[in-house]
Amino acid sequence: MIKTSSPNFFKMVRAAFLSSIISPLLAGTLLSGYITGHIQIINSIFVLLLGICLHIATNVYNDIYDTLQGTDKMNINRNAFSGGSGVLQEYPQLLPVMFRLARMGLVFALLTTVVLTFLIDRSLRLHLWFLFLLSVFFSKYYTAAPVKLSYRGWGEISVWLAFGPMAILVAAVSQNVGFHEIIITAMPATGISTLSILLIGQMIDLNADKATGKLGIAARSGNKFTSYLYLVVQFVLCLDVIILALWYIHHGWLLLLCLIPYAILLPRIWKILSGGYDDADLLKTAAKLNVLLHISFSLLFAIGLGLILLLEFEVL
């Protein structure tokens, strides 16, 4: 039955998942502050707006094209942590509104990029625009034809790039820092954290993805393989954080606080995945725990970096 009322804005843009872009932008900004000794507040506000606008566009475009291409219609296991927002399944009359939201996200992202262009060093402007244009490409063509990255087996790589290396680097560029060794070392972690949400989501959505040709890791290799891949990438994340904390950052032990949720939640998640990788209901529980892991890691990662800056020097 088609509903005639309207969902709120936050549901339409899947605002609960914006932490996935806020985390790497904060990390890139704080790490740049550690490198340079200060943070340019105006620049950090504009890069945060840039990232949020692009992520909103991405979320909305994904909902639009997964609906138009039939994936969302086939998905009987949609939940709060995978399968899209379901807005267009309940309110198909909102398709024009969703298109406007996505396009407005890109327009506002363009405007913030223009402003940032005049706030950063001339030598870094090409980096900024390359990252912006690549992000716009990922935003629409993650699901949209004719590229359809997630339908051709490139979804995982693009998600990791967008929420890891690209987001960390654009935040650093906004602070006039380029490919510094600390920035490079930090690039994998936040992208893996977001990728882990995608991996479990693919396991839940396996049947719908297979039926509509959406070729993620789970659809290509099965849920058992994907569950082991999930465990491997989470260990890589932990190793990356340890290397960053102990080899590159003074007072880096504070950064290790962000791994406490892994000690608590990862064993519980793996217990579900190892034995229930084909049970959609159990996987939904794992997805909920994994989102909690992602949010707590992201929060503690930023808090740890903030405490390190306070111990090191005055950064503002």
The model's pLDDT over 89-139, given as tens digits with 9 standing for 90+, comes to 788 898 999 999 999 999 999 999 999 999 999 999 999 999 999 999 999
Q: Long-range contacts of range 45-48, CB-CB < 8 Å, 24 or more positions apart?
A: 46/112, 46/115, 46/116, 46/119, 46/174, 47/112, 47/116, 47/170, 47/171, 47/174, 48/22
Distance, in Å, from the CA atom of 316 to the CA atom of 42, rounded to the nearest integer, reads 11
Q: Of 96-105, 210-219, 293-302, which gets the smallest average pLDDT?
A: 210-219
34/314: higher pLDDT: 34
- Residues forming beta bridges with residue 79, ordered by sequence position: 82
- Residues forming beta bridges with residue 82, ordered by sequence position: 79
239-297: pLDDT as tens digits: 999 999 999 998 899 999 999 999 999 999 999 999 988 888 899 999 999 999 999 99
194: pLDDT confidence band, cut at 50, 70 and 90?
very high
End-to-end CA distance of the chain: give it in Å, rounded: 54
- Residue 1 above 70 pLDDT? no
Distance, in Å, from the CA atom of 44 to the CA atom of 23, rounded to the nearest integer, reads 13
Distance, in Å, from the CA atom of 227 to the CA atom of 94, rounded to the nearest integer, reads 36
- Residue 315 above 60 pLDDT? no
Distance, in Å, from the CA atom of 198 to the CA atom of 254, rounded to the nearest integer, reads 28
C-alpha closest to that of 58 among 102, 90, 22: 102
Which region, left, alpha or beta, applies to residue 220 given φ > 0 means left and ψ of -120 to 50 means alpha? alpha
Residue 147, classed as helix, strand or coil, is: coil
Domain borders along the chain are 9-312
Given this model, what pLDDT does residue 316 score?
Answer: 45
Q: Of 1-15, 192-206, 240-254, 281-295, which gets the smallest average pLDDT?
A: 1-15
4/17: higher pLDDT: 17
Tell me what the mean pLDDT of segment 62-91 comes to.
73
% of residues, the chain, pLDDT over 90 = 69
**Tokens coding 245:** 């904390």
